[in-house]
Structure 1
């Protein structure tokens, strides 16, 4: 039963929000224990549809005639559940590059103030989109430490309106105490993210309710974040561009007998020829994961299929590379490691293969089919560029040859850059 004698303080920086059925604020309780949502927080004027987008409630005579009616922004994302805000977040922190790219696509890049690690937010593709910018990575505050801890003082100092992060990898990898995660939610900002880049490892926690939670596909994030930021129209326009592009790519993949085999090689591991090549399985065990989504969409033929023994990768020497003999070698994370601390790690590995008596006999090396690959931290913008890139690298007869990073002429582009720019810039 609610207690009518319960006192509420007025909100300060951030208005009341409802999170997972509980009412939370910034350093205050926006309601009393035992109160229902209807007692503690005004009902939202919109609801989230099954796709995650907010749909407007049917107007009533009272609502159309009352200029002071409040609007709320509601979205639901496992594992954190439903989140309702009285106003869109004006600042946010992300994890690595994925949610940063999603929010950039929704026109929210300038509101970024920090990340778990800004180094992994690849921004190079934005250079090919008119008017699209993002904060320089060195201007974003990192709230994790080199020894894999979370810096609570930094996170509190950033004081964002939204933590666009799944708390579970922060708990599992960076050792954040679950009680501290709750305190952050109550005293700093709500968590709102879902870690679906790859299969979740053993020891992955399931906070806040201890129950396993589903993976989300890349497009599923767009309406959820769009609803929370009041960008439903932009989110739908983005999906209307993104999904037909992906479907077109899938429909044009050549028959299996005409697909060249590939090896997805670690782009950082072996520039000094230390102990072989780490080769990843390009096929995702979990269908909805998005870290290697472009290779799943392109239905690739993996030269190393059957060699992984249940693991996600295998290590081989030059002789092993020749034994499996891929037609194409793509260096994973290659766009990042083209210039890593002043060194082109991809070029060094290419030269190792080209100059080795066994390595140079590999079909991909003989035919100069050695390519820069993408980052697995790919939201919709990055994924569109990386899908186009991989399509041309693997199937040039169908999609046109790959001339090199950033060198695709307008007539050879597979999606409309200007349309994407307009959506991001809000001029669509």
Structure 2
């Protein structure tokens, strides 16, 4: 077995001069090689997310100053993120690349949106909710450079050209899906920028890699990312303020969910797949296989009743025809990725699917279609800002008697809002 933990790699001159990365004990935790297999079940602990560092980590995710620090010894910035371990920077990153939107939203919440220079695929970073926050903006995603190809390869040349200060990405999806070699991941870390990411959108599939630790690594809940990135960027105060707004909002919503017997049933339908419905409807399991994952967090927090419970046969989705949709007869249909596909390459896939259902003799009999309860759903690439808007959106779609009716995508009046937009905008803008 080839050793791939990099524990013995000598720091390069760039390591010292550019970002002074510290390879901590957590970087080499576990076995000394990566077998490249296994889906990494990680942590499945239930409960309310906290701000504490995962107990498997070896360093606190806070920026640190040594007791002997003086004016001649500037502050350093230290944080830990499994699987890449502890990272110490001499100064906060001024430029970064992200993956598919999650880290980008976290960093936007911490006032770092202007540092974005590229992403694995910028098209999956949904920035529309920022329009509802005064003074908050993000780079136009069509102006950000994509560093993966249509053939699902990682373009090293593009990353060298972008020359970011931070790769805010878990390298393992790039290794498992986008053709990145472990040696190339190491090369990028040494010659371009350190990696700092953890992919916890959903349960990691069989064949997931575990570079550089060599064994499955923990999942992180959405709030656990905030202090880690905040420490690395020197934004601890902003991170604390963000969580002081975010966590009570989620707790309040969860406390107000109606009793299960009074909850309307949900079908979470793919928002883009085959709008003409030649092949059927792709229905996702809205419940998370791993508690800490954030891709469907709003539905977990809202305790949804799944109309297709028991239909998935161990898979994450099922395909049904019109008759199958009517058989399970959901009270509400939410189109997953709807915020993205309501205006995608000039097409509104959500409107098309609504019309197809309403015009079909069987589809029109489904309770959700009869009552007009077909809604735009959220993107699974949701950091704290996007998740707050999407939790509010889903709460109104599913439980209007408790949270107020959903008036359609757009700005809500102040009386309809479930969280304080002004306070969120102030935090993002640095008015803490």
**TM-score of the superposed pair, with normalisation by structure 1:** 0.89
Alpha carbons of structure 1 residues 374 and 9: separation in structure 2 relative to 1, 3 Å? closer
- Determine if contact 1:332/1:374 at 8 Å carries over to the other structure: yes
2:223 is the alignment partner of 1:219 = yes
Query: 2:353 aligns to what?
Result: 349
Query: 2:285 aligns to what?
Result: 281
Query: 1:157 aligns to what?
Result: 161
Alpha carbons of structure 1 residues 272 and 231: separation in structure 2 relative to 1, 3 Å? same
TM-fit CA distance, 1:425 = 0.3
Distance in 1 (CA, whole Å) between partners of 2:52 and 2:405 is: 41
Query: 1:145 aligns to what?
Result: 149
Alpha carbons of structure 1 residues 7 and 215: separation in structure 2 relative to 1, 3 Å? closer
SS of structure 2 residue aligned to 1:119? helix
Alpha carbons of structure 1 residues 110 and 299: separation in structure 2 relative to 1, 3 Å? same
TM-fit CA distance, 1:15 = 4.0
Distance in 1 (CA, whole Å) between partners of 2:63 and 2:276 is: 55
- How many matched pairs? 395
- Determine if contact 1:262/1:327 at 8 Å carries over to the other structure: yes
Query: 1:267 aligns to what?
Result: 271
RMSD in angstroms over aligned alpha carbons? 2.0
Distance in 2 (CA, whole Å) between partners of 1:156 and 1:342 is: 33
Structure 1 residue runs of 4+, over 3 Å off? 6-13, 19-23, 48-53, 55-59
Alpha carbons of structure 1 residues 277 and 396: separation in structure 2 relative to 1, 3 Å? same
Distance in 1 (CA, whole Å) between partners of 2:263 and 2:326 is: 19
Q: 1:225-249 CA deviation, whole Å, 9 max, x = no partner?
A: 0000000000000000000000000
Query: 1:367 aligns to what?
Result: 371
Equivalence map 1:27-426=2 (5 Å): 50=53, 52-54=60-62, 59=67, 63=69, 66-426=70-430
Unmatched segments (≥5 aa) in structure 1: 1-5, 24-47
SS of structure 1 residue aligned to 2:80? strand
Q: 1:309-329 CA deviation, whole Å, 9 max, x = no partner?
A: 000000000000000000000
Q: 1:67-98 CA deviation, whole Å, 9 max, x = no partner?
A: 21221100001000100101100100000100
Distance in 1 (CA, whole Å) between partners of 2:137 and 2:233 is: 19
- Determine if contact 2:329/2:366 at 8 Å carries over to the other structure: yes
TM-fit CA distance, 1:58 = 7.6
Distance in 2 (CA, whole Å) between partners of 1:381 and 1:9 is: 38
Alpha carbons of structure 1 residues 182 and 270: separation in structure 2 relative to 1, 3 Å? same
Unmatched segments (≥5 aa) in structure 2: 1-9, 28-50, 55-59
Distance in 2 (CA, whole Å) between partners of 1:15 and 1:363 is: 57
Q: 1:201-243 CA deviation, whole Å, 9 max, x = no partner?
A: 1110000021110100000000000000000000000000000
- Determine if contact 1:19/1:190 at 8 Å carries over to the other structure: no
Distance in 2 (CA, whole Å) between partners of 1:197 and 1:162 is: 20
Distance in 1 (CA, whole Å) between partners of 2:12 and 2:156 is: 27
TM-fit CA distance, 1:7 = 12
TM-fit CA distance, 1:332 = 0.2
Distance in 2 (CA, whole Å) between partners of 1:376 and 1:56 is: 33
Q: Which has the higher contact order (CA 8 A, sep 6+)?
A: 2
The answer to which of 48-57 and 360-369 deviates more is 48-57
